[in-house]
Amino acid sequence: MVAGTSWSAQQQALRHVAARSAGAPLAPGPELTVNFHPDRMAGDRPLLRRMAEDGVYYSQFVTGTSNGGLTAHPGGDRWRWESRIFGGAYDHAPAHERPIYGALNHRNSPVGGAPRFGSSYFRLTAGTLERTSFCYPDSSTQPSAFAVTSRFALIAMAEADGLDALDGHIEAHVHGPVRFDRDVEALVLDAGYRGTDVEEAARALPCPIQWHPGFRLTVQRLRQHPDYRGQECVDLGVRIAVDGCLDPWVIGRAARTGRYDPQALKKVWHCLARFGAPEPAPNP
């Protein structure tokens, strides 16, 4: 539907995606997750502390932070992708009304549905599914496959595609606010943050904290993959490693110094996420 009707931007966006979707309803089970890096800064404040103060999860249009591309501004790539996917519904909407990005964790991964975008994640309530749209692959690829919960054919597509582990997620767009006291079942942190200021800041959020086993990569193994994100990425990873290892806390500490290119550190994170992910739990 075009903008300018009596519907809200969120309703217009959902209706537009529903009209482009096909398939049977989504079966119960898969959860929505929102991956992010909990140790990053939002302006001059730690991200988690800002979240606790605000009470809601904001998109990069509001925060100006991202572990993808920083193009969330009028005319930027993210703005144009959203205009295309949602039929222009958000073209004139204020930043705080835009959707929150996550992923459908259809593989039940302990590290969330889209670890490409962060070591930790918020697991959302089942109720948020009804106001969520989906695409496959990622919106940056100009996807042509879309879904809503009543018309969902993306899981089989993703499972058959064979994309790289960091690229094969089913992207989710939660329309409307994501409140920590209502829409979040738990914050699931990487085990490497136990006993850190990240855990301390997380305790101020009104949602439970859980832990996954954690990402960890030795420099020895990192050196085996120069073709993944380039030799410069490997060299940077070796330089910032602590005791011969990388984990999310190590990369976050490097990011907070301001001495390294954030896009270069993003590539180091991709290597850690791809080759240092914890083993999935065995099926019962």
pLDDT at 77: 84
Give the pLDDT of residue 95.
Answer: 85
What is the largest distance, in Å, between two alpha-carbon atoms of the chain? 59
CA distance linking residue 114 with residue 91, whole number of Å: 26
Instruction: Output DSSP code: residue 117.
Output: G
Q: Would you say 68 and 140 are in contact if contact means Cβ atoms under 8 Å apart? A: yes
pLDDT score at 3: 41
Q: Quickly count helices (H) and strands (E) in the chain.
A: 11, 14
**166-209 confidence digits (pLDDT tens):** 999 999 999 999 999 999 999 999 999 999 999 999 999 999 99
Q: Using CA atoms of 171, 174, 175, 178 in order, give the dihedral in degrees to the nearest 10.
A: -150
pLDDT of residue 68: 46
User: Tell me, what's the pLDDT at 64?
Assistant: 59
**18 within 8 A of 150, measured Cβ to Cβ:** yes
> What is the reported pTM?
0.92
C-beta of residue 166 within 8 angstroms of C-beta of residue 274: yes
Q: How far apart are CA 30 and CA 49, in angstroms?
A: 29
Cα atoms found within 13 Å of the Cα of residue 15, Cβ hemisphere only: 14
pLDDT value at position 280?
A: 72
Distance from C-alpha of 77 to C-alpha of 179, rounded to nearest angstrom: 27
- Per-residue pLDDT at 72: 53
> Could you tell me if 186 and 210 are in contact, meaning their C-beta atoms sit under 8 angstroms apart?
yes
**What length is written for the chain?**
284
**Contacts (Cβ under 8 Å, ≥6 apart) of 20:** 146
Q: For residue 177, is the peptide bond before it cis, meaning its omega torsion is within 30 degrees of 0?
A: no
What pLDDT, on a 0 to 100 scale, did the predictor assign at position 282? 56
Say if CB 140 and CB 85 are below 8 A apart: no
What 3-state DSSP class applies to 85? helix
CB-CB neighbours of 273 under 10 Å = 23
Q: What is the mean pLDDT of each run of 10 residues along the chain (284 residues)?
A: 59 97 97 96 88 90 56 72 95 90 96 97 97 96 96 96 92 97 98 96 97 98 98 98 98 95 96 93 53
274: Cβ–Cβ under 8 A, 6 or more apart, which residues? 164, 165, 166, 225, 228
Other Cβ atoms closer than 10 A to 45: 12
